[in-house]
């Protein structure tokens, strides 16, 4: 009986901090792709100007979200697209349009990506761009 009492008094309180740990942020539970692509759309309500590969109003896609900034030339956009699986990116990864450039976190170094994107947007930083994610 005394052993059982010691177990409850000493062991269980020591385990309680383990259950209070925070979970992983959803930001790290999704696939992300950073791309440079041209703008599409005519600017009307039915077909707004937006980056290629991003949905217009009412369209459904496998993407869970995206955000973008306009490049300094006004013709290209720097876009981060998120999805639950990498399979959602097949159309982007297989696109051969010359203006489309794809950057992958697993493959490309941060400094190389920033150097390339600063050619398109002078004051671009990945930290500031990542802060745009909601």
Q: Residue 47 has what pLDDT?
A: 87
Asked whether residue 3 is domain-assigned, the answer is no
Q: What are phi and psi of 14, to 5 degrees?
A: -70, -25
Q: What dihedral do alpha carbons 131, 59, 105, 85 form, nearest 10°?
A: 120
Structural domain including 81 reads: 29-130
Asked whether residue 4 is domain-assigned, the answer is no
Q: Residue 133 has what pLDDT?
A: 47
Q: What are phi and psi of 79, to 5 degrees?
A: -125, 140
Does this model's pTM top 0.95? My answer is no
- Write out 100-130 in H/E/C secondary structure: CEEECCCCCCHHHHHHHHHCCCCCCCHHHHH
Asked whether residue 9 is domain-assigned, the answer is no
Q: Residue 3 has what pLDDT?
A: 62
Q: Residue 38 has what pLDDT?
A: 96
Q: How many domains are there within the chain?
A: 1
Asked whether residue 100 is domain-assigned, the answer is yes
Asked whether residue 5 is domain-assigned, the answer is no
- Mean per-residue pLDDT pooled into runs of 10, the chain (134 residues): 60 60 63 94 89 85 91 95 91 93 89 94 90 54
């Amino acid at each position: 009986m005394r052993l059982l009492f010691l177990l409850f008094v000493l062991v269980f309180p020591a385990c309680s901090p383990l259950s209070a740990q925070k979970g992983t942020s959803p930001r790290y539970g999704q696939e992300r792709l950073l791309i440079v692509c041209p703008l599409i759309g005519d600017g009307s309500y039915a077909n707004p100007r937006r980056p290629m590969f991003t949905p217009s109003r009412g369209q459904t896609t496998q993407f869970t979200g995206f955000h973008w900034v306009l490049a300094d030339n006004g013709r290209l956009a720097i876009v981060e697209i998120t999805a639950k699986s990498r399979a959602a990116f097949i159309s982007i990864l297989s696109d051969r349009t010359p203006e489309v450039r794809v950057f992958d976190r697993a493959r490309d170094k941060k400094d190389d990506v920033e150097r390339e994107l600063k050619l398109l947007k002078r004051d671009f930083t990945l930290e500031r761009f990542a802060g745009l994610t909601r």
